[in-house]
A and B are shown apart, each in its own frame.
Chain A
Amino acid sequence: MNAAKNNEATELTYRDACREALRDAMSRDERVFLMGEDVGHYGGCYGVSKGLLEEFGPERIRDTPLSENGFTGLGVGAALNGMRPIVEIMTVNFSLLALDQIVNNAALLRHMSGGQFGVPLVIRMATGAGRQLAAQHSHSFEGLYAHIPGLKVLTPATLEDARGMLWTALEDPDPVIIFEHVMLYNMMGTLSADAGALPIDKAAVRREGKDVSLITYGGSLPKALAAAEELSKNGVEAEVVDLRTLRPLDDETILASVRKTRRAVIVDEGWRTGSLSAEISARIMENALWDLDAPVARVCSAEIPIPYSHHLEEAALPQTPDIVAAARGVTG
């Protein structure tokens, strides 16, 4: 769909918003191109680039050989030579094949070349579970990437962010990874016609509350918002913090919320052990321990390879009732 010319809001999906962001970037800047497996005629494995081949041609919407480490490395090369590549990796599990290029190369080139070679590369990928695709297509490794200095890690969870974070990422001089949660793609919403670039270093409070902070990101945001509604029925007003960016973490927003509500529940689809949720929890301990009225609670995925079967997948993932229960646990 084409962006409306007036200021009216249009109804669309998160997937459409991702596509609008791509289209806008490609139209704005000749240096931008998209490459990945099946991004052309197929339109990308989650349909994000559908129609863009016709608009921008096969050189700019480029189908690649099946070689995640290969084309991520090519992206690094193209970025070094003045382009603004967007590399699409089908799903986060496959990005592990490209870890050498992402972690041992893109993330540290600037530093190890004494500032001579920066890598303005954007890598987009789907993440998360819920579509019955079994362990090798369903994990959440955002926390793993957030561990790596030299990377910026974005997790747009709203249509505005899907539309607005890409351009800012492309303007960034360093590598940026954008995670699109698979359960968000069909989410409907509206986007005003003048929707545009948004910051990539700030968390957002999606719902104000005074009793407990639900700190989350990505595919867990709608679940946390639903939990907040549920809690509200029993007089518990939850504040929902959408991290938006996992690296750098916006400590200020997190801590301000926790200091206000004095209770925190972290909702993270990653596994608990050694996770992003552990990092956030530690920062709260380090900076706001005396403001807390209860220990920090966490809702994470079961520490097993995410199973295929729907009911097992549901059981393994953080769900709204789990968040409600955890929030009740800390609010007493």
Chain B
Amino acid sequence: MKPRSRLALHVPAPSSRPGDKPDFSGLDIPEAGEIRRPPCDTAEAEMRDLPYALIRVLDDEGAPQGDWAPRLSPDVLRGGLRAMLLTRAFDERLFRIQRQGKTSFYMKSTGEEAIAVAASMALGAKDMCFPTYRFVGWLMARSHPLLPLVNQIFSNEKDPLKGRQLPILYSAREYGFYSLSGNVGSRFGHAVGWAMASAYKGDDKIAMGVIGEGTTAEGDFHEALTFASVYRAPVILAITNNQWAISSFSGIAGAEATTFAAKALAYGIPGLRVDGNDFLAVWAAIRWAAERARLNLGATLIEFFTYRAEGHSTSDDPAKYRPSEEAGAWPLGDPVERLKQHLIAQNEWDEARHEALIAELTEEVRAAVKEGERAGVLGQSKPSVKEMFENVFEEPDWRLIEQRREMGS
């Protein structure tokens, strides 16, 4: 027997820190089209390679490859591109609005737009999404008007949430978009409960829960998987692995040891690992999992592999903990550029149309922001104080009525 060594504590550290050259050499990235696509009714036990693979459709030239390539019409693809560009234009403008002091807080989804947009388009109008705060693309893809979002961001008197919730933590029930939580992860299980209710009622609607890779460390994640597995809930459980949870890299959430998709193995549900910057791959994976759910075959866990190209929020300065060139060095590119390249390669798009679309969307966002500003930016026009006592219950109890009276309103 070898002499025993002293025990030592392992603390994961990322491959590079500020000042270092970004280093993604540790990533194993297969060619587009390389990964097999089993029929969606395949038994989980026969797909245990997939959580360690990386499903990619678009190759470096923007050509679709392999079995996962979905057949989507150019109109659908252009719709996806539009929603992604709108998301980006919105994020850019509203981020600047925060810097101008017109709102207190903002979070962008830059680099991750394909996931929310493709999921929104690939699922049905009555399906329900339990999103994260980087999922505004879902709303953009469903043509949610911009103005109510802006009014919430300004917390003005037209704010649909009446000044109660942070900017960007939207609620849009009519759009299949559940109320966003400030506590991360706590609504992941709601997706499973909702899906189980759908099954119990004999309905045809499915649910999608979304969680960040950092948040998979919360009990909510594991509990949701347990229930999804036990009851074969018709739910898609999606992890957006954008490599960073505020300042902690994915290794702190467990990525040194295994993939996030592989967490599915222990629960006996299929796990897919998908290039999240590849619109077509995201679409294909969501459709595969949705079909499986609609066949009563239960849940699928999908890890969307992506990169958080910007800071966590307006309160964050990522230069403190990661190299600033890291986003540019991300080997899976930018989702907008990749879909654009694909459309151009198919002769369905060109630079001029692209520029014109960006100009049009920038104007659309500008107009919505202007209109929101007319109603008032943060602190200028105010939701009524009286209303803050409403909606605590459907009918206020005596205590609420008393408080409202005491406040003289």
Q: A312-B164, A315-B388 are in contact. Are A38 and B246 (CB under 8 A)?
A: yes
Least CB separation from A68: chain B residue:
B218
Q: Which of A24-32, A134-142, A161-169, A197-205 contacts B (4 or more CB under 8 A)?
A: A134-142
Least CB separation from B404: chain A residue:
A302
Name the one of B17, B166, B245, B378 contacting A133, with C-beta atoms under 8 angstroms. Answer: B166
Cβ-based interface call for A303 (8 A) = yes
Beta-carbon contacts under 8 Å, B245-273 to A: 245-248, 252-254
Query: By CB atoms of chain B within 10 A, which of A45, A65, A132 has the most?
Result: A65
Q: Which of B64-72, B176-184, B284-292, B346-354 contacts A (4 or more CB under 8 A)?
A: B176-184
Least CB separation from A41: chain B residue:
B321
A311 x B252 contact (CB < 8 A): no
Cβ-based interface call for B356 (8 A) = no
**A67–B105 alpha-carbon span in the complex (Å):** 24
A66 x B245 contact (CB < 8 A): yes
**A134–B388 alpha-carbon span in the complex (Å):** 12
Cβ-based interface call for B27 (8 A) = no
Cβ-based interface call for B54 (8 A) = no
B246 x A62 contact (CB < 8 A): no
Contacts of A135 in B (CB 8 A): 164-165, 182
B385 x A315 contact (CB < 8 A): yes
Beta-carbon contacts under 8 Å, B282-316 to A: 316
A312 x B219 contact (CB < 8 A): no
Cβ-based interface call for A310 (8 A) = yes
The distance from the CB of A216 to the nearest CB of chain B, in whole angstroms, is 20
Name the one of B11, B246, B400 contacting A58, with C-beta atoms under 8 angstroms. Answer: B11
Cβ-based interface call for B399 (8 A) = yes
B385 x A312 contact (CB < 8 A): yes
Least CB separation from A131: chain B residue:
B104
Beta-carbon contacts under 8 Å, B203-253 to A: 214-215, 217-219, 245-248, 252-253
**A93–B166 alpha-carbon span in the complex (Å):** 15
B217 x A305 contact (CB < 8 A): no
Contacts of B248 in A (CB 8 A): 37-38, 40, 63, 65-66
The distance from the CB of A246 to the nearest CB of chain B, in whole angstroms, is 24
**A37–B248 alpha-carbon span in the complex (Å):** 8
Q: What 1/0 mask marks residues of chain B from 155 to 174 whose CB sits below 8 Å from any chain A CB?
A: 10001001111110100000
Number of A residues near B (Cβ < 8 Å) is: 39
**A312–B161 alpha-carbon span in the complex (Å):** 13
Q: What 1/0 mask marks residues of chain A from 299 to 318 whose CB sits below 8 Å from any chain B CB?
A: 00011110111111001100
Contacts of A6 in B (CB 8 A): none
Cβ-based interface call for A171 (8 A) = no
Tell me the number of A-to-B contacts counted with CB atoms below 8 Å.
Answer: 123
Query: By CB atoms of chain B within 10 A, which of A42, A133, A137, A309 has the most?
Result: A309
B11 x A62 contact (CB < 8 A): yes
The distance from the CB of B122 to the nearest CB of chain A, in whole angstroms, is 28
Q: What 1/0 mask marks residues of chain A from 59 to 73 whose CB sits below 8 Å from any chain B CB?
A: 100111111111000
**A132–B400 alpha-carbon span in the complex (Å):** 22
Beta-carbon contacts under 8 Å, B353-408 to A: 378-379, 382-383, 385, 388-389, 392, 399-400, 403, 407
A41 x B182 contact (CB < 8 A): no
B215 x A66 contact (CB < 8 A): yes
Least CB separation from A67: chain B residue:
B217
Contacts of A59 in B (CB 8 A): 9, 11
Contacts of B186 in A (CB 8 A): 97
A70 x B252 contact (CB < 8 A): no
Cβ-based interface call for B126 (8 A) = no
Q: A58-B13, A134-B164, A312-B163 are in contact. Are A304 and B392 (CB under 8 A)?
A: yes
Beta-carbon contacts under 8 Å, A18-64 to B: 37-38, 40-42, 45, 58-59, 62-64
Least CB separation from B159: chain A residue:
A309
Contacts of B165 in A (CB 8 A): 134-135, 308
**A310–B377 alpha-carbon span in the complex (Å):** 12
Starting from the known contacts A302-B389, A307-B162, 17 additional A-B residue pairs (CB-CB under 8 Å) come to A37-B245, A38-B247, A38-B248, A41-B247, A41-B320, A66-B215, A67-B217, A68-B218, A93-B182, A133-B166, A134-B166, A302-B403, A303-B399, A305-B164, A312-B163, A312-B385, A312-B388
Residues of A at the B interface (CB closer than 8 Å) are 37-38, 40-42, 45, 58-59, 62-70, 93-94, 97, 132-137, 273, 302-305, 307-312, 315-316
